[in-house]
Amino acid sequence: MKVAMVVFDGVQALDVAGPLDVFAEANAFLADDQRYDVSLVGYEAGAVTCSNGMQLAVSCGFAECDTQWDMLLIAGGPQLPDSDPSLPFLNWLQHQACGAGRYGSVCNGAFVLARAGLLDGREVTTHWADAARLSDEFPHANVQPDRIFVRDGRLFTSAGVTAGIDLCLSLVAEDWGHELAVRVAKRLVVYIQREGGQSQYSPYMSSGKDGDPILARVHRYVSEHMTEALSIDDLANAAAVSRRTLSRVFAKHAKVTPAVYVEQVRVDSARKLLEESDTPLKTVAFECGFHSASHMRTTFSRRLNVTPQQYRLRFRADVSISEPHAHDAIAA
């Protein structure tokens, strides 16, 4: 299978190395005529400098490549959302995507596909930090900001950086079965399918200090009254505005309802406690305003696609947990 990994100056090294290593490990288990034949394609042949300073040897420029690739992947990079690919390259990409069995992107390589018109009407994802911008600039794309990777027909897109490994493991599983993908994952010492979505990796929400002052007052009030049941009237009184004004401000600046905002503040407070302390889950739930540990678990599962216990095991550096069923979370 002929695979093209499209790279540019400033590309994220892991966006390239992760997928290449998945295919290389898979090749170790495949017959010669079944292996992935991967080539780096750029604007022109020669050296490409990654964002970390590493240099990659590009075998051919797109204009000189007359190969019809079976699979085409666009790697991402920190500056890629601001890039302006040339019209000849975008035409080449459109042509290749039409003929390829599969095509897609790693991280914010999705912006390149979008500029070629290849994301219109499709369900896609990208790095959580770029998802809102991708959605704003290309409103015809159905951006799923919390997904690790998304398949829509022949189109595959993935979240940031190491999510390219998740994506390519799924491609190997599709090509050669789950068992081979598991063997590759074990060789790379990664999960065959990680739990949860991107939101568990994203930073905590802003307090609003640099945004609307009403949001800042509400955030401060919620943070100081976390254990209380907070109604919209309570928030409006704390911000010294009417319910109508409060709802309008939240719709414009926070893009969520006040109730959803309060829940997010509670989740972020719980995330911080889980990361930084061994506080029992029941206590975390109480201090962050959840009705119970069960309610907190349900909310985490809905918002982050992981339980509080799983979150703590993943992000707590010096785990020392006596909660029941910890071994079940590790085994999962």
3-state per-residue secondary structure call for 277-309: CCCCHHHHHHHCCCCCHHHHHHHHHHHHCCCHH
Mind listing the pLDDT tens digit for each residue in 1-24? 999 999 999 999 999 999 999 999
Cβ atoms < 10 Å from Cβ of 152: 16
Whether 196 has a pLDDT exceeding 80, the answer reads no
- The dihedral built from the CA positions of residue 151, 156, 160 and 161, taken in this order, carries a sign that is positive
pLDDT band at 210; cut points 50, 70, 90: very low
Q: Is 107 a catalytic residue?
A: yes
Average pLDDT rounded to a whole number, residues 94-118? 96
d(CA 188, CA 184): 6
Tell me if residue 6 falls in helix, strand or coil: strand
Give all domains of the chain, ordered by start, each with its CATH number: 2-200 (3.40.50.880), 213-331 (1.10.10.60)
| pLDDT exceeds cutoff 90 at 252 | no
Angle at 281 between CA 221 and CA 265, to 5 degrees: 25
pLDDT of residue 199: 67
Burial category of 308 from C-beta neighbours within 10 Å (exposed 0-12, middle 13-18, buried 19 and up): buried
- Give the model confidence (pLDDT) of 175-189 as tens digits: 999 889 989 988 998
pLDDT at residue 56 is higher than 70: yes
Q: Is the pLDDT of residue 88 over 70?
A: yes
Helices (H), the chain: 13-27, 87-99, 110-115, 128-137, 163-176, 178-188, 213-224, 232-239, 243-249, 258-276, 281-287, 293-304, 308-315, 326-331
Beta bridge partners of 61: 42
pLDDT of residue 76 exceeding 80, the answer is yes
**Quick count: other Cβ atoms within 10 Å of Cβ 74?**
30
Among residues 50, 107, 168, 288, which one is catalytic? Answer: 107
With bands split at pLDDT 50, 70 and 90, how would you rate the model's confidence at 332?
Answer: very low
Lowest mean per-residue pLDDT among 57-61, 135-139, 193-197: 193-197
How is residue 170 written in tokens?
């799924």
